[in-house]
Structure 1
Amino acid sequence: MACPICNKPGVPAYRPFCSKRCADVDLARWLRGDYVIPGLPQDDLSSDQAPESEKNTGGGLDSRIKRP
């Protein structure tokens, strides 16, 4: 398998990368947020859009209705 950063042959110790340098380059890209899945920005989502069953009404960690 070719290294996804530089296209050199991959090395088993750093699979799928060819070296620690390419693995670190990939990690830096993740940490900077270069790899994203397209979608609505977090700011555009309001709490009103969440279904009622997913809203936490402040009942603590387990806010489900308790059975008697």
Structure 2
Amino acid sequence: MRESLKRKIIEICDKKVASKGEDAGVSFYAFFKNKNDDPELLMEAAEWWIMTHQLDHFEKAIKIKAMIQSN
């Protein structure tokens, strides 16, 4: 996964936890605007989320952040 996407995921996860607490959930769509302006990046996130790690649609933001940081 490219570094720019990793940084964005960590940033969004941090914001979710700060606003909603440790139980805040995210889906991979949370890392993108409501328009598909970068389909390649969206597919990269989807592949990591769905195919590589077989995650549920919503996961805890702290879990996703930890997974990103461990790679």
TM-score between the two structures when normalised by the length of structure 1 = 0.28
Structure with greater contact order relative to length (CA < 8 Å, sep ≥ 6): 2
**Going by fraction, where is strand more abundant, 1 or 2?**
2
Greater gyration radius: 1
**Going by fraction, where is helix more abundant, 1 or 2?**
2
